[in-house]
Amino acid sequence: MNIGFLGLGTMGAPMARNLLDAGFALRVWNRSAEPVDTLAAHGAFAASSPAQAALGVDVLIAMLADDDASRDVLVDGGALAALTPGAIVVNMATVSLAFAREMRAHCEALDLRYVAAPVLGRVNVAQAGKLNILAAGQPNTLDALAPLFDVLGQRTWRFGDAPENANVVKLASNFMIASAIESMSEAAALAQGHGVAGSDFLDMITTTIFNTPAYTGYGASISKQVFEPAGFKLSLGAKDVRLALLAGEAANVPMPFASVLRDNHLDSLAHGEGQRDWAALSRVALRRAGLATDET
Amino acid sequence: MNIGFLGLGTMGAPMARNLLDAGFALRVWNRSAEPVDTLAAHGAFAASSPAQAALGVDVLIAMLADDDASRDVLVDGGALAALTPGAIVVNMATVSLAFAREMRAHCEALDLRYVAAPVLGRVNVAQAGKLNILAAGQPNTLDALAPLFDVLGQRTWRFGDAPENANVVKLASNFMIASAIESMSEAAALAQGHGVAGSDFLDMITTTIFNTPAYTGYGASISKQVFEPAGFKLSLGAKDVRLALLAGEAANVPMPFASVLRDNHLDSLAHGEGQRDWAALSRVALRRAGLATDET
Amino acid sequence: MNIGFLGLGTMGAPMARNLLDAGFALRVWNRSAEPVDTLAAHGAFAASSPAQAALGVDVLIAMLADDDASRDVLVDGGALAALTPGAIVVNMATVSLAFAREMRAHCEALDLRYVAAPVLGRVNVAQAGKLNILAAGQPNTLDALAPLFDVLGQRTWRFGDAPENANVVKLASNFMIASAIESMSEAAALAQGHGVAGSDFLDMITTTIFNTPAYTGYGASISKQVFEPAGFKLSLGAKDVRLALLAGEAANVPMPFASVLRDNHLDSLAHGEGQRDWAALSRVALRRAGLATDET
Amino acid sequence: MNIGFLGLGTMGAPMARNLLDAGFALRVWNRSAEPVDTLAAHGAFAASSPAQAALGVDVLIAMLADDDASRDVLVDGGALAALTPGAIVVNMATVSLAFAREMRAHCEALDLRYVAAPVLGRVNVAQAGKLNILAAGQPNTLDALAPLFDVLGQRTWRFGDAPENANVVKLASNFMIASAIESMSEAAALAQGHGVAGSDFLDMITTTIFNTPAYTGYGASISKQVFEPAGFKLSLGAKDVRLALLAGEAANVPMPFASVLRDNHLDSLAHGEGQRDWAALSRVALRRAGLATDET
C-alpha cells in the first residue's frame, strides 16, 4: 500500500514514522522542511508540494492543524485533485462538522473515498502506536485501512458510514477532557478557599476515584500550577470547545457545561494564557475567587 | 479500644461489621432494629438508644444520613452528652460545613475530641474494607484512630487540624463525580443528536481515556438508560451539590459547573427522578435536546 | 388605628414619617437611637424596646434588615409576645420563604394575624409615599390595612392568602433587577471589547428601549463606573439572589440566570466589592474580559 | 437624493414607504414581487434586479434578512458592482461582525462608502418613522445621510468611524432584549412554582419597575402564553444570540448570560418553537420546572 502523509507536526511526525517503520512506502509533505528531512533520512519520499505527496498513492492521510490548514493543503493546495480516482482520503485531524461535510462533498465530486479518523492520545501515545482511532466511513474502506490503523493505534472504533460522525465523537471526547479540567479547577479552588491546599486535594482525588490519564496529567499541572511547556495549548482547547458548541447548535443540543467552558476559555485568553498548557484554565477559578497567586 | 457505632445503613452496616470482625468491641445503634440484630448476632452490643451506645466508649463513630439525622442522634438524642470527657467523636457522614462547625463546638463544650472522616467508596468498597478515608482533626487524635481506620479503608488521607476541612474535601469530591455524570450526559446527547448512539460513544470513552470507576459505573447506567436499583439516589446527589455550593458561598468561590449541576438536578427532581440512580441526571440533557425516549 | 413600627433604617424612617404625617398614632423603635429621636420630635412615642413598641397597638409594622434581624426583634426581642391577640403583624422586609413560614407559625400560635408586604422602590420613592406594596394575607386583614398602605404606597398588589407568596414575588422582582444589571454589564463589556465606549452604549440603550428606572439608575453608575455612595449594597443584592435561588430550590424551579448571578456576586465579593453599589457587579464582566481599569 | 432600496420585508417596506412619502426618488427591489408593486403604485421605480435598483443612485439602502441574504443580493446579485464610485451603501440589517467587515472590504475595493445603520424598533415603530438608528461610518458620510435618517427614525446615534461598531451595538441591544425575556421567564416560573400565577406577577412587574416596551410587549405574551402571531420569531432571536456570542468570542469577552440564552434557545428549537414569537422562550423555564401546560 502506497501512502501519502500531509502534516508532520507533533502528532503527525511520530505517526508517519511508525508507518515507515512498519514497511509502508510513504510520500510525505509538511509546511516546514525539517520534519520532512528527518523522515526522508529514514526512507520516505520528500514531496515538494501537497499535490506531489498525493501522486499515485492508494491512501492519503492528513493530520493538519485545523479546518483552515486542512482546506489550504487538501483543496486549495491541490492534493485532492492530484489523487487517482478511487483513492482513499483519511483525515485524522480534529475539524468541524461543517468542514467534514465539505471534505466529503469534495471527495465525492472527485470520485475519492473519504474517511474521518481523528484520534485520542497525545504525543507519547502516538509514538508508541497506541492511539485510539475514531473512524467513520464506508465499511469496506475502513476494512482496507485496517493494516494501517493497526500500526498507528491500539484499537479502531467505528462510528458508522457518515465520516462526520467520527468528528462528533472526537469533539464530544475533547469536551469531556475540558470538563474534567474545569471540574478539578473548581474543586481545587473550593478546597483552597477553605484552607486545604489545592495540591493536597488533587493528589488525593487523582490517585483514588479519578485515577485515569485525563485527570492525572492535567491534575498534576494544576496541582503544581506549572503550565509550560504546553502539552496541548489552551488556545487549541478553546477551539475544540467552540467546535463542540457548533456541533451542539447544529443538532439543537443544549450543552450548559460547554457554555461555561467557552466563557472560561475566553477569560483565560483575555488574560494572555492561550499559549500555555490547557491546565492553565484552572487559573480562572482561582482568579475569580481572589485566590490566584503567581504560579512558579 | 471500645467503640460505639451509630447508623447502620448501607454504608454503616458493612463498616461496623468489619470492625467487629477485626476484634473491636462494638456498641451499635440504629433507628430501625434489623441491622442491629444482625450485628448483635455477631457479637456487638445492641444499644437501645444513641446514649446507651455511647456509654463508656473510647470512640464514637457516626455514619448518619445528613445534618438533620446527625443532629437528632448525636445532640438531641443525647449521644454526645453520654460520652466520657476525652472520648473521640468520629463523624463519617457527608455533612455541611456549617454542621461540622456546630459539631465541633458541641464537642469542645463537652471536652470531647471531634474528628471528621467522610469516605470515598460505595457499598462494595465499604464491604471490602477498601474505602478512602478523608480525615481531619488533631494529629494525635488521628494517630489514635489509625488502627480503626486501617480496618475500614485502604488509605487515610489527612487534611489538617480543622475537622470541617475533611468535609470540604468530601463535598469537592462529590461535586467532581456529579460533573463527570453531567459531562458524559451532554457528550452522549451531542453524539446522539448527530446519529451516533450514546451507548457507542460511552462504551468507547469509558474504556479508553475515562476508564475509571466514576465513569464506568455511571457511564454504564447512562449507556443502558437503566436507573434502578439506585446505587446512589439522585436526590442525595442534589443535596451534595447544594452543600458544595454553600461551601463555595462561604468562601466566595464561584463554581459555575456546580451552578449548572444545581439547575439540572432541580430539573430532574421536577420530573420525578429523585429516587432513581444519580445517572438519571442524564435524562435532562436528552430531554432538553428533544431526544429523550422511554428508558428500558 | 394605633401602630407600632420596628426598624427605622433608610427605608423604614421615611415610611414611619409618612404614617405620622398622615395622622396615625405611632410607637417606634430602632436599634440605634437617632432615628427614634427624630420621629419622637414629630410626635411619635419612643419605645425603649421592641416589646414596648408593640404594647396595645392594632398593627405592628416591621422593616428590619433580614431574617436574623427580624427574628431577633420580633421573636427573641419579645415584640410578638407583647401584642394583643388579634393584632396584625405586617412584615415589610425582604426575607426568605423559610422565615416567612416561620413567622406565620409564630403568629398563629399567638393568635396574631400575619401579613407579608415587602415593597418595590428605593428611598426617594419611600419618601414620596409612592412605593409599590406587594401584599399577601387574609383578604379582610389586607382590607383593614388599606388606609395605612395608601399612605405608604401608590398601589397595593395582592398575591393571595399565603403571606410567603408576597415574599416570593419580592424575590422574583429583585432577581429581575439583578438580571438587568448583569445584562447591561455584559452588553457594555461586549461594546467596549470592540472599541465602543460602554458609556456610549449604555446612554443610548437606557434612553431608548430600556428607559425605565431599573436600567437608568444602575446604567448611569455602570456608565460612569462610580459605585459610591451605595444606593443598595452589592452584598445585599448577593443575599437576595441567594434567597431567590433557595426559593427556586424549594419548588424545583431551575433558574440558570440566577445561578450566573450567584457566581458573579461571589466573584465581586471575593474582590472586595460588597460594600459598593449593586452596579459594581459590572466590574466582573470587565475584569473577566481583561477590560477593567480603575474606576473614578 | 436618488435612493435604491433592497429588501421590502416587514421592516423594509414601511421604511421605503416613508422615504417615498417624504419625496425621495426611490428604486426598489425585493425577492417577491408584491411589496414592489405596492410601492410602485406610490411612485417608486420597480427594479427587476438588485443591480437595476442600484443603477445611478446616490445611496443604496439594504434591509435584508441576514448575512447570507445580504451577500446574495449585494455581492453575488451585482448590486454593489452596479453602483457609481463614491456612492453610499447603507446596510440597516442585523448582520455579523464578520460580514460587516467583509462588506466594508468589498465597498473599499469598489470605491464605495459603507455605512452600517441597524435599527431599534419593530414594525409599528418603523411605520411611524420613529426608529432609533444605530449608525457608524465616516462622519461626513453620516452627515450626508442625515435627511434620510431623519425620515426613518426619531434619532440617529453615532458609534464611530468603523461601520461594524454599529453592528456590535445592535447585537448587544438584542442580547439585552433576550435577557429581559429570560429574566421574566425565570421569575414567572419561580412565582408559579409557589402558587402565584405567572400572569399576576408579570402584570405587576411590567406596570411598575419594568414598565418599558421591551418588557411590556414580551411580558404580555408570556403572561397569556400566546405566541402567535410571531412579532419576532424565536429562530431569529436564536440567530442574534449566536451573533452576539461570536462577537464576544472575537474580543475575548465572556458572556455567561448569553451562554444561558444560547442553550435555552436551542432547547426551544428542539421543541419545535422556532416559528413562534420570541416570548415562547418562556416555555423552557416552565418545562424544566415541570410547570408547562398547553398554552391557549
- Give the pLDDT score at B294: 61
Beta-bridge mates of residue B114? B89
Amino acid at C25: A
| Residue D240 and residue D115 in one domain | no
The label of the residue with cell 476559555 reads A265
Alpha-carbon gap, residue D265 to D260, rounded angstroms: 9
- Give the pLDDT score at A1: 86
Alpha-carbon gap, residue B218 to B228, rounded angstroms: 12
DSSP chain C: -EEEEE--STTHHHHHHHHHHTT-EEEEE-SSSHHHHHHHTTT-EE-SSHHHHHTT-SEEEE--SSHHHHIIIIIITSHHHHSPTT-EEEE-S---HHHHHHHHHHHHHTT-EEEE--EE--HHHHHTT-EEEEEBS-HHHHHHHHHHHHHHEEEEEE--S-HHHHHHHHHHHHHHHHHHHHHHHHHHHHHHHTT--HHHHHHHHTTTTT-SHHHHHHHHHHHHT---S-SSBHHHHHHHHHHHHHHHHHTT---HHHHHHHHHHHHHHHTT-TTSBGGGGHHHHHHHTT------
Q: What is the pLDDT of residues C110-145, one digit of tens each?
A: 999 999 999 999 999 999 999 999 999 999 999 999
Q: Which residues 66-125 of A are in CB contact (within 8 Å) with D?
A: none
Alpha-carbon gap, residue A187 to C160, rounded angstroms: 43
Nearest to D157 by CA among D188, D118, D185, D126: D118
Helix (H) or strand (E) holding D6: strand D2-6
Nearest CA in chain A to B164: A194
- Helix/strand number for chain A, H first, E second: 14, 9
On whether residue B294 sits in a domain, the answer given is: no
Choose the closest CB to D183 out of C186, C204, C257: C257
Per the CB < 8 A criterion, the answer to whether A169 and A156 are in contact is no
Query: Which of D132, D186, D263 to probe by mutation at the C interface, max C CB count within 10 Å?
Result: D186
- Give the pLDDT score at B296: 47
Q: pLDDT class for A296, splitting at 50, 70, 90?
A: very low
Phi, psi of B131 (to 5 degrees): -60, 155
Rounded to 10 degrees, the C-alpha dihedral D169/D174/D180/D185 comes to: -150
How many folded domains does chain B comprise? 2
- Give the pLDDT score at C294: 62
Q: Over the Cα atoms of chain D, what is R_g?
A: 20
User: Mean pLDDT of all residues in chain C?
Assistant: 96
Q: Which residues 271-290 of D are in CB contact (within 8 Å) with B?
A: 271-272, 288-290
Domain with D208 in it: what CATH number?
A: 1.10.1040.10
Per the structure, the complete domain to which residue A207 belongs is given by: 168-288
| Residue B183 and residue B146 in one domain | no
Q: What is the pLDDT of residues D135-166, one digit of tens each?
A: 999 999 999 999 999 999 999 999 999 999 99
Q: Is C267 near chain A, with CB under 8 Å? A: yes
Domain with B61 in it: what CATH number?
A: 3.40.50.720
Peptide bond into D139 cis (omega under 30): no
Q: How many CB atoms lie within 10 A of CB A124?
A: 10
Nearest CA in chain C to D249: C190
* Rounded (5°) CA angle A270-A275-A278: 90
Query: Which stretches in chain B have pLDDT values below 70?
Result: 294-296
Q: What is the pLDDT of residues D100-146, one digit of tens each?
A: 999 999 999 999 999 999 999 999 999 999 999 999 999 999 999 99
* Domain termination residue (choose one: C161, C185, C204): C161
Amino acid at C93: A
Alpha-carbon gap, residue A190 to A216, rounded angstroms: 19
Q: Which residues of chain D does B186 touch, with a Cβ-Cβ cutoff of 8 Å?
A: none
Per the CB < 8 A criterion, the answer to whether A137 and A100 are in contact is no
Q: Which residues of chain A does B206 touch, with a Cβ-Cβ cutoff of 8 Å?
A: none
Alpha-carbon gap, residue B201 to C143, rounded angstroms: 63
Per the CB < 8 A criterion, the answer to whether D42 and D95 are in contact is no
On whether residue C134 sits in a domain, the answer given is: yes
Q: How many CB atoms lie within 10 A of CB B89?
A: 28
Per the CB < 8 A criterion, the answer to whether A42 and A20 are in contact is yes
Query: Which stretches in chain D have pLDDT values below 70?
Result: 294-296
The label of the residue with cell 475533547 reads A174
Q: Do A270 and C289 touch (CB under 8 A)?
A: yes
| Residue B59 and residue B139 in one domain | yes
Alpha-carbon gap, residue B289 to A263, rounded angstroms: 21
The label of the residue with cell 470538563 reads A179
Q: Do B256 and A215 touch (CB under 8 A)?
A: no
Q: Which residues of chain B does D255 touch, with a Cβ-Cβ cutoff of 8 Å?
A: none
Cell of A46: 520528500
Query: Which of D246, D253, D259 to probe by mutation at the A interface, max A CB count within 10 Å?
Result: D259
Beta-bridge mates of residue C200? none
* Domain termination residue (choose one: A119, A139, A161): A161
How many CA atoms within 13 Å lie on the side-chain side of C185?
Answer: 31
On whether residue D180 sits in a domain, the answer given is: yes
Cell of B156: 487515610
Q: Is B255 near chain A, with CB under 8 Å? A: yes
Nearest CA in chain B to D260: B260
Q: Is A267 near chain D, with CB under 8 Å? A: yes
On whether residue C213 sits in a domain, the answer given is: yes
- Give the pLDDT score at B213: 87
Nearest CA in chain B to C241: B249
| Residue B130 and residue B181 in one domain | no
Per the CB < 8 A criterion, the answer to whether C84 and C59 are in contact is no
Q: Is D266 near chain B, with CB under 8 Å? A: yes
Which residue among the candidates A130, A170, A233, A239 is catalytic per the annotation? A170
Helices C198-205/C163-193 angle, 10° precision: 130
* Cα D177 from chain centroid (whole Å): 12
- Give the pLDDT score at A188: 98
| Residue B72 and residue B157 in one domain | yes
| Residue A23 and residue A50 in one domain | yes
Chain B nearest CA to A292, separation (Å): 12
Per the CB < 8 A criterion, the answer to whether D201 and C237 are in contact is no
Q: Is D199 near chain C, with CB under 8 Å? A: no
Cell of D161: 468611524
Nearest CA in chain A to D263: A254
| Residue B100 and residue B212 in one domain | no
* Domain termination residue (choose one: B130, B161, B192): B161
Length of chain A measured in residues: 296
Q: Which residues of chain C does B253 touch, with a Cβ-Cβ cutoff of 8 Å?
A: 266, 270
Per the CB < 8 A criterion, the answer to whether A261 and A182 are in contact is yes
Q: Is C185 near chain B, with CB under 8 Å? A: no
Alpha-carbon gap, residue A203 to A219, rounded angstroms: 8
Chain C nearest CA to D260, separation (Å): 7
On whether residue C145 sits in a domain, the answer given is: yes
Q: Is C191 near chain D, with CB under 8 Å? A: yes
Choose the closest CB to C263 out of B254, B266, B270: B254
On whether residue B293 sits in a domain, the answer given is: no
- Give the pLDDT score at D22: 97
Nearest CA in chain C to D174: C187
Q: Which residues of chain A does B191 touch, with a Cβ-Cβ cutoff of 8 Å?
A: 168-169, 172
Peptide bond into C254 cis (omega under 30): no
* Cα B272 from chain centroid (whole Å): 22
Phi, psi of C220 (to 5 degrees): -65, -40
- Give the pLDDT score at A295: 52
On whether residue D113 sits in a domain, the answer given is: yes
On whether residue C109 sits in a domain, the answer given is: yes
Chain C nearest CA to B160, separation (Å): 24
Task: Answer whether residue A8 shows pLDDT above 60.
Answer: yes
| Residue C97 and residue C182 in one domain | no
| Residue C11 and residue C150 in one domain | yes
Known catalytic membership, residue C130: no
Mean pLDDT of C255-273: 98
Q: Does residue A2 sit in helix, strand or coil?
A: strand
DSSP A95-154: --HHHHHHHHHHHHHTT-EEEE--EE--HHHHHTT-EEEEEBS-HHHHHHHHHHHHHHEE
- Give the pLDDT score at C96: 95
Q: Do A266 and D259 touch (CB under 8 A)?
A: no
Q: Is A169 near chain B, with CB under 8 Å? A: yes
| Residue A127 and residue A180 in one domain | no
Q: Is C270 near chain A, with CB under 8 Å? A: yes
Q: Do D159 and C196 touch (CB under 8 A)?
A: yes
Q: What is the pLDDT of residues C44-74, one digit of tens each?
A: 999 999 999 999 999 999 999 999 999 999 9
Sequence-ordered list of residues with C-beta below 8 angstroms from that of A34, at least 6 positions apart, any chain:
none
| Residue C98 and residue C31 in one domain | yes
Q: pLDDT class for C293, splitting at 50, 70, 90?
A: confident
| Residue C147 and residue C175 in one domain | no
